Amino acid sequence: MVTIDWPGALMGFGVGVAMSALYFGGLAVTVRVALRSSRPNAMLLPSALARIALLLAVGWLVSGGATRVWAFAGYGLAFFLVRFLATMLARAPRPEDV
């Protein structure tokens, strides 16, 4: 019988939602700024490295160095849920596009 650590999973999920929202919010801002820039690579690469490093570092801390499996699972689930919502919002038609 598998015992689920619900407080750990919910804590990982909550932190994962917050960090994922920050990750995709930063991505949106970076893309908007890069589209106006004459050198978008100079903006996109450092931003991607910083966002990925922050997401992984917080995930490592939340999961206790990958020893708290249920916190890690909640964190990962939250990332994929927020990613799904972010792509749905990005693909939705805007009023000025109609």
CB neighbour list of residue 98: distance below 8 Å, 6 or more residues apart: none
pLDDT mean over 2-15: 94
What is the structure's pLDDT at 91? 92
Q: What confidence tens digit (pLDDT) does each residue in 45-74 have?
A: 999 999 999 999 999 999 998 789 999 999
What does the pLDDT look like over 17-54, one tens digit per residue? 999 999 999 999 999 999 999 999 999 999 999 999 99
Question: How does 64-89 read in b/e, with b if 16+ C-beta sit within 10 Å?
Answer: eeeebebbbbbbbebbeebeeebeee
Please state the pTM of the whole predicted model: 0.88
- CA–CA dist 50, 57 (Å, integer): 10
